[in-house]
Amino acid sequence: MGECEMGFAMNVLDTLAVLFAFTIGILVLVALVIFVLDRLQAEDAIRRNYPVIGRFRHLFSTLGEFFRQYFFAMDREELPFNRAQREWVKRAGEGKGNTVAFGSTRSLNVIGTPIFANAAFPPLDDQFASSEPLVIGPDTRTPYLAPSFFNVSGMSYGAISKPAVQALSRRAKEASI
């Protein structure tokens, strides 16, 4: 290898070393700016308490469904609060809809779990279980009495017609649901 080739190789290595050091410096500067911005903001407690790293939480939450599907715990396996409960609280705290659709993430094998089943004929008066109203907030000034376990709610009302919604509501009232 001649002197000219050796000098060229050294110039390339020097240039790459300077470029590497410059890139690392830029990354450190960006991390420092993000750190200061995260510490000064007041909207997200995670980012304020864990600056820079807290930003990855949202990315990992988004990717979490994929990883849980193949590698980790399911939505309802963690204690004391599982992922489904934490997501519900998060949506409620952000003012988003926190109504959770009926789905298959709950275990249906637990005794007492209500299961809807089709019936060829409506039950007679003595063929259904009666229950006491559920009292929500019994120690409050005005407790709420929920007379039934199930109610007709805003489920996909945009997907069914107005007469269908009205029919569901009338029949629920007749059934005292």
Token code pair at residue 165: 């919604």
Instruction: Please say whether the beta carbons of 112 and 138 come within 8 A.
Output: no
Query: Counting Cβ atoms within 10 Å, is residue 13 exposed (0-12), middle (13-18) or buried (19+)?
Result: exposed
Measure the CA–CA gap between 53 and 3, rounded to whole angstroms. 48
Going through the chain in order, the beta strands assigned E by DSSP cover 134-136, 144-146
pLDDT at 33: 94
How high is the mean pLDDT in each 10-residue block of the chain (177 residues)?
Answer: 64 89 95 93 87 84 70 65 76 74 63 70 72 84 79 62 80 73
